[in-house]
Amino acid sequence: MGMGVQQVVHPEICALEVSGLSKTFGATRVLTDLDLTIRSGEVHALVGQNGSGKSTFIKILSGYQPADKGGEVYVAGEAEGWSDKIAFVHQDLGFVDSLSIVENLAGAFHSRSLGTLNWRAERIRAERITELAGLSLSVDTPMRSLQQVDKALLALARARDEVVDARGSLLVLDEPTAYLPNDRVRELLSQIVQTARSGVGVLLVTHRLQEVMAVADRVTVLRDGKVVATKEVPETTEAEIIEAMIGTTPDATYPDRPDSLETAAFLRIRGLSADLLGPVDLAVAPGEIVGLAGLVASGWEQVPYAIMGALDNVNGSLAVGEAEPIEFARMTPQRAVAMGIALVPADRVRDSAVGELSVEENATIATLPRLVSHGKLDLAGRRRLTNALLKQFDVRPAVPDVAMSTLSGGNQQKVLMAKWLNISPRILVLHEPTQGVDVGARYQILRHVMEAAAQGAAVVIASAEHEDLANICHRVHVFERGVIFRTLEGGDLTEAALLSAAQGI
């Protein structure tokens, strides 16, 4: 992926110099003696398995958490007064949906009350940032009506606007592409490279190693809170990076697709339609894994939520097994659960994690009825189950009692995945199941999905990860403008074919 931007690295200026940085939470050491240098003008990727300490490092840079005593952090050569030399794009982007673009962009920078803002100046700045993002939108547009990718471009533009042309400054990005479809990622990456080439040092946290290979100049690998390698990207390979991350060569292969058990459909959807969706017919047999794909907002992303009874203004009907069809309008999440349907939503942490509860409570909440005997919760049984799930899904740390909120983002996702797969649903619906998890966990999660199918679940998986779909699905429906535009199966189901079908070719 050539970005077509000339490389102008300024090795003589350091945007960031960190030495001997450590961080402990209670008795747990999360970062140990970290050394890291980011040159002005370079894109420096920071990679590592879930829980290796990437976000903790960023939280220290942003002043959200203090580091242990003894470490040193210099930004543009200065140990103090440096905060205006760093701009951040945090993973959740930090926008308020109910406010407009200009209100969001103004509020983000000024702690003083909105009443005293100079709105004329704020409008001009918001217009500049919107244009920098490459969006032709009025700054009065409510944030709610923007697609995720446009929000990400806007957050990046806001950060670029802060540091642009400021030689020696630093731009820090925590998984900026995690929630974006592949076809829009390129746009964001090329803006990131452009920013670096204007003299800004860029720290890029990502789980997508293809991105690292495409745009980073150097990459630093964290393992268990320690820097295990810093490499020039042209002199390394994806395999080498993975090995440094994990310490061994992982089993990074897709398992064999389970044979589809039956041909008679178990889940039947007729005439599903909603805003910008439909009509869609869909049939999934027990043991079958059916993929839904397409460009962003082409309808496929809404289907999981319709099946779960969580979408408004829906028409059409859904039937499970021999039961009479039920109108979508009458579906509710409770009814879906009673019908044996489990949905693993894309924004798992926001939609279904309870941060204050323990890992054990989160992992077993959907299984509680089965853990009650003689009217009492079987605590020992629950503990055994939790330990088994934590091991199966490789959750780190594998400690049942800690609060969910102390787990790293990827590890929280693994817990929620374990929770839903453990109820042995008859119909398993997943939206972006491998988002935000590291390479090792990715194949593990897909193996669990395939196991559920092998045990007879009808599986629907909506994802922008074409490689996953091509390797685990029996069939993939590609959407365009709300309807199924093409269906790929057998020898025709390849990553390349999916990509071109998604583009309407």
Ligand X SMILES: Nc1ncnc2c1ncn2[C@@H]1O[C@H](COP(=O)(O)OP(=O)(O)OP(=O)(O)O)[C@@H](O)[C@H]1O
Q: How far is the C-alpha of 196 from the C-alpha of 202, rounded, in Å?
A: 6
| Residue nearest ligand X, Cβ-based | 410
Considering the complex, state which of residue 168 and residue 436 has its C-beta at the smaller distance from ligand X: 436
Q: Does 362 bind ligand X (CB under 6 A)?
A: no
Which residues are registered as beta bridge partners of 487? 477
Q: Which does 25 bind (CB under 5 to 8 A by kind): Mg ion, ligand X, none?
A: ligand X
Considering the complex, state which of residue 52 and residue 104 has its C-beta at the smaller distance from ligand X: 52
x-or-dash pattern for ligand X, window 375-404, by CB under 6 A? ----------------------x-------
- Nearest Cα to Cα of residue 280 among 260, 256, 300: 300
Q: Nearest distance from residue 54's CB to Mg ion, in Å?
A: 5
Task: Give the torsion sign (CA, 214, 217, 221, 225).
Answer: negative
Q: Nearest distance from residue 124's CB to Mg ion, in Å?
A: 35
Q: Does 435 bind Mg ion (CB under 5 A)?
A: no
Residue 191: DSSP 8-state: H
Burial class (CB in 10 A: 0-12, 13-18, 19+), 22: middle
Beta strands in 224-264 (DSSP E): 226-232
Q: How far is the C-alpha of 501 from the C-alpha of 505, rounded, in Å?
A: 5
Q: Does 53 bind ligand X (CB under 6 A)?
A: yes
Task: Give the torsion sign (CA, 360, 363, 369, 370).
Answer: negative
Considering the complex, state which of residue 59 and residue 270 has its C-beta at the smaller distance from ligand X: 59
Q: Is 115 helix (H, G, I), strand (E, B) or coil?
A: helix
Contacts 24+ apart (CB under 8 A), 245-248: 245/47, 245/48, 245/49, 245/52, 245/221, 245/438, 245/439, 246/49, 246/439, 246/440, 247/223
CA dihedral 227, 231, 233, 238 (to 10 degrees): -60
Scan residues 371-410 and list those touching Mg ion (CB under 5 A).
409
Pick from 41, 51, 258, 299 the residue near ligand X by CB under 6 A: 51
CB atoms within 10 A of CB 271: 12
CA angle 497, 250, 44 (to 5 degrees): 80
Q: Does 55 bind Mg ion (CB under 5 A)?
A: yes
Considering the complex, state which of residue 292 and residue 415 has its C-beta at the smaller distance from ligand X: 415
Considering the complex, state which of residue 247 and residue 325 has its C-beta at the smaller distance from ligand X: 247
Considering the complex, state which of residue 181 and residue 409 has its C-beta at the smaller distance from Mg ion: 409
Q: Does 406 bind ligand X (CB under 6 A)?
A: yes
Scan residues 408-427 and list those touching ligand X (CB under 6 A).
408-411
Q: Which stretch binds ligand X (CB under 6 A): 23-31, 109-117, 146-154, 311-319?
A: 23-31
Total residues binding ligand X (CB under 6 A): 18
Scan residues 62-81 and list those touching Mg ion (CB under 5 A).
none
Q: Which does 56 bind (CB under 5 to 8 A by kind): Mg ion, ligand X, none?
A: ligand X
Query: Treating both helix axes as pointing N-terminal to C-terminal, what angle do 409-421 and 439-454 enclose, rounded to 10 degrees?
Result: 10
Q: Nearest distance from residue 408's CB to Mg ion, in Å?
A: 5
Pick from 3, 42, 44, 54 the residue near ligand X by CB under 6 A: 54
Q: Nearest distance from residue 403's CB to ligand X, in Å?
A: 8
Burial class (CB in 10 A: 0-12, 13-18, 19+), 392: middle
Residue numbers at the binding site for ligand X (CB under 6 A): 25, 28, 30, 48, 50-56, 397, 406-411
Binding site for Mg ion (CB under 5 A): 55, 409
